[in-house]
Amino acid sequence: MSEFTNRKAGRAETAEPTVSPVPLADALEFASLPGPTDPLMEALLVAATDAVINYIGFDLLDREWTLTHWDWPTYGTVAARNLGRVTGAFEREISLPYARNATVVSVTSYGEPVLTFTNRGRSIVLRGSGRDGLNDDPALVVVYDAGFGPDSSDIPAQIKQAVLMLASWLYEHRGQCDAADGVVKSGAASMLTPWRKPELIW
């Protein structure tokens, strides 16, 4: 019936690999390393890019994401529903993880296309479904493109500089740290503050 342990939680996934907006040659030059290739730095560029994406809450280069909610909206539990108006009577906002200005490819509910919704860039707004729980198909599936753009030139210079700083720092401290800690310790965090998702700023 459900592949999710927590049916109330949505899950956003992408099948596309992370691609760094920073060329390997730039990273090698920044770290004063001989080129033209370095498998370790190439891997660290990807790790640094992933860490930056998680830190700011937005994807960088455009990728297709799929957000799946098995139960949406959820009121109470399957065994004990809350009393009140039919859940489908309300319009609800659905956050699209990692999206700044998403292009929505498709929206389906219980396997049926949803043609009426409002795209707000970082979320969509649509009418809820009166069905809730015990469903064999996901209650909501949103396919969308998230990122600043398809090319490296679409990524703000500060973000690319932060990726460079973090990748170089990880190279210098390889085996002694992880990328998440390195965002702050490398100084990349200060470059990323203006671009960070508001919900992530304490």
pLDDT of residue 2: 45
CA gap 7, 92 in Å, rounded = 18
The answer for residues whose C-beta is within 8 angstroms of residue 106's C-beta and 6 or more apart is: 113, 141, 142, 143
pLDDT at 74: 59
Highest mean pLDDT (candidates 65-79, 82-96, 150-164) = 150-164
Lowest mean pLDDT among 17-21, 74-78, 112-116: 74-78
Among 2-6, 37-41, 84-88, 136-140, where is mean pLDDT lowest?
A: 84-88
pLDDT of residue 181: 85
Amino acid at 96: L
Could you tell me which of 65, 40, 6, 20 has the C-alpha nearest to residue 161? 20
Residue bearing the bigger pLDDT, 200 or 46: 46
Predicted confidence (pLDDT) per residue in 169-188, tens digit: 999 998 777 778 899 999 99
The residues spanned by each domain of the chain are 19-58+155-200, 63-146
The residue-averaged pLDDT of 126-136 equals 71
Q: How confident is the model at residue 46 (pLDDT cuts 50, 70, 90)?
A: very high
pLDDT band per the 50, 70, 90 thresholds, residue 134 = low
Region 148-168 average pLDDT: 97
Phi, psi for 174 (deg, rounded to 5): -55, 135
